[in-house]
Chain A
Amino acid sequence: MSERIVIHPVTRIEGHAKISIYVDAAGEVESAQFHVTEFRGFEKICEGRPFHEMPGLMSRVCGICPVSHVLASSKAGDGLLGVDPPPAAVLQRRLVNYAQLLQSHALSFFHLSSPDLLLGLDSPPEKRNFFGLVEREPDFIRRGIRLRQFGQRVIELAGGKRVHPTWGAPGGVQRPLSKEARDEMAGWVRESIESLQMALGRLKSLLDSFQEEVQHMGNFPSLFLGTVTPDGGLEYYDGVIRIVDSEGNIVADRLDPRRYNTFIEEASEEWTFIKFAYYKPLGYPGGKYRVGPLARLNVAQHAGTPLADRELREFKQRSRGAVCESFHYHLARLIEMLHAVERMEELLNDPELLGEDVRARALPNRREAVGSCEAPRGTLFHHYTIDRDGTMRKANLLIATGQNNQAMNIAVEQAARRFVRPGKLSEGMLNRVEAAIRCFDPCLSCSTHAIGQMPLVVELRDKTGRLLDRVSRS
């Protein structure tokens, strides 16, 4: 008799999700699914609104990565106007995008995933949380908080507020950056680099104790997709799309992100509201790919900043081809944060950043445009169609979490097969299944880690719905 284990909710997420684990008659895990059970409909909300409102409206898509949506939306607006933003606006957009990457990654690594990494996946759940770390690792946590503060402060100084900033606009940004703001930002750089080097050293020293998790929590071949500079360097604002396979071979290169729908397609499944993006030439599900920190480090040949380049070279030595272990998203995240701070320092030293001319103005010159950028969790596309007077007719958002959806489902299934023993459920087993999701830091995961009691209930039922076993954290 087959059985189904349901983890619901995965824990509070930026939305709602659950995991189903299917068990065969012999008691072995047969398959697993990661379901997203909410529907928001942002694309529909946009219809009928003026296109110049989109950056402000899109800022509300997410409380963790609003800057990414503002940026992709503003870039789509640039395309509709048919203008190039002034240099100061481009520099400011780049700066704030790095700040967003920094604060989002700091939240994921220090606040959400470090309890697993530093306290252990089997440590008592009432201690395996943010407060547990405060007790055990106060300096580590203080540094994590400061890193997130740095990113948020940059967003606040440029955009007026830390969350949902009213900052970007079609044709540029809303306001120039002041010298005082620039100088305050620069004051955070050295300390941030020191903290990131400390965190990198700490994580690398821990990896040996997670060998089983590294091998069995989302380690599988797939494609990797990300933005790179024309010469193959790390890029987050404006570049070309590169796709590599698990052997590290370049499958496609110099793809124009504005033509994303010629190489990416989305499939739907009836059991989840997240679509499944795939690389069109390989079809669904064969064209599965991953985006985000791990993918970006796999597609890039160099970082372009000295400290991150050194880390990237070492990172690439972990595999002959691409690094396929999803567990290494954590390490990739830290390397990206180091790179972001190095790039921010460069931008803050560029006098053109303070330029007064920050917005190109025009009436709409095109009816359709795509804006893209690298959000913390991966490549983000906003595709808008407007009518003659600039009213939105259609919006399509292709979001990183959707692009990682196939990969997250595979990771959950792999972790379940390896760690879950249906006859004897334990909290530690199930935490590994959740931790497989946390590697990807889906926009769901901004709440996949609790300070105290995580509201998780797992039930094992047979086909008739009879309760066979139950584990609860609440």
Chain B
Amino acid sequence: MSALVIAIGNRLRADDGVGHHVADLLDPMPGVTLLRVHQLTPEIAAGMQSAETVIFLDADPGADVPSLDRIAEPAEGGGPFSHSMNPATLVALSARLYGFRGEAWLCRLYARDFSASPEISPEAAAHLQEGARLVQQLLEARCTSRP
């Protein structure tokens, strides 16, 4: 099994960094690579090429609880800017340029406070374990089905 976990966000912007905090809680597993980024850029698409599973961990001001959803590739590119992309456009880009054929998932994490602070809010902190559990569960399932 080869998996790529991409934690997105800025740790200096409070809850924006929840993806990194969830990544901190994941147990290391063989075949799983962790990438930490502030934002998604086209260069990341090349690194997704050989991954069977890609999981994005991102702050979502609309998420009340952590969730893990399969990403559908958009038909028409999608996202607005070439230097700041969303997970779906990155998946599309990787598929079209590098032949990515794996599955991609987005873990949406509770986030409300985006002020300039290295500390996440207590509310966001309360959801970290659940976010990590969802991701760990998926990785373990893939590891079992595709050793």
Contacts and interface: CB of A to CB of B under 8 A. Distances in A.
A156 to B, nearest CB: 11
A145 interface: yes
Interface in A136-180: 138, 141-142, 145-146, 148-149, 152, 163
B96 A447 contact: no
B93 interface: yes
Given A135-B96, A163-B38, A451-B77, A145 B45 contact: yes
Given A134-B96, A134-B97, A142-B97, A453 B43 contact: no
B111 to A, nearest CB: 21
A471 B12 CA distance: 39
Interface in B56-106: 76-85, 89, 92-93, 96-98
Given A111-B82, A135-B96, A138-B97, A145 B46 contact: yes
B106 to A, nearest CB: 18
Contact of A111 (B76, B83, B96, B98): B83
Contact of B42 (A111, A126, A446, A455): A111
Q: Is the interface of B mostly helix, strand, loop or mixed?
A: mixed
Contacts of B85: 451
Contacts of A12: 80-81
A281 to B, nearest CB: 39
B83 A131 contact: no
Which interface class (under 10, 10 to 19, 20 to 34, 35 or more) fits A?
A: 20 to 34
Interface residues of B, number: 21
Contacts of B80: 12, 450-455
Contacts of A451: 77-82, 85, 89
A372 interface: no
Contacts of B92: 131
Contacts of A447: 81, 83-84
Contacts of A111: 42, 82-83
Given A134-B93, A135-B96, A145 B43 contact: yes
Contacts of B45: 145
B42 A131 contact: no
Contacts of B93: 131, 134
A142 B92 CA distance: 14
A308 B82 CA distance: 28
A129 interface: yes
A93 interface: no
Contacts of A149: 43, 46
A450 B82 CA distance: 6
Nearest to A142: B97
A447 B41 CA distance: 13
Contacts of B77: 129-131, 134, 451-452
Most chain B CB inside 10 Å of its own CB: which residue of A126, A129, A452: A452
Contacts of B82: 111-112, 129-130, 449-451
Interface string B32-50: 0000001000110110000
Contacts of B38: 163
The 6 closest A-B pairs by CB, nearest first: A131-B77, A130-B82, A111-B82, A149-B43, A450-B80, A145-B42
Interface of B: 38, 42-43, 45-46, 76-85, 89, 92-93, 96-98
Given A134-B96, A142-B98, A451-B77, 7 more contacts: A126-B76, A145-B42, A145-B97, A148-B43, A451-B85, A452-B78, A455-B80
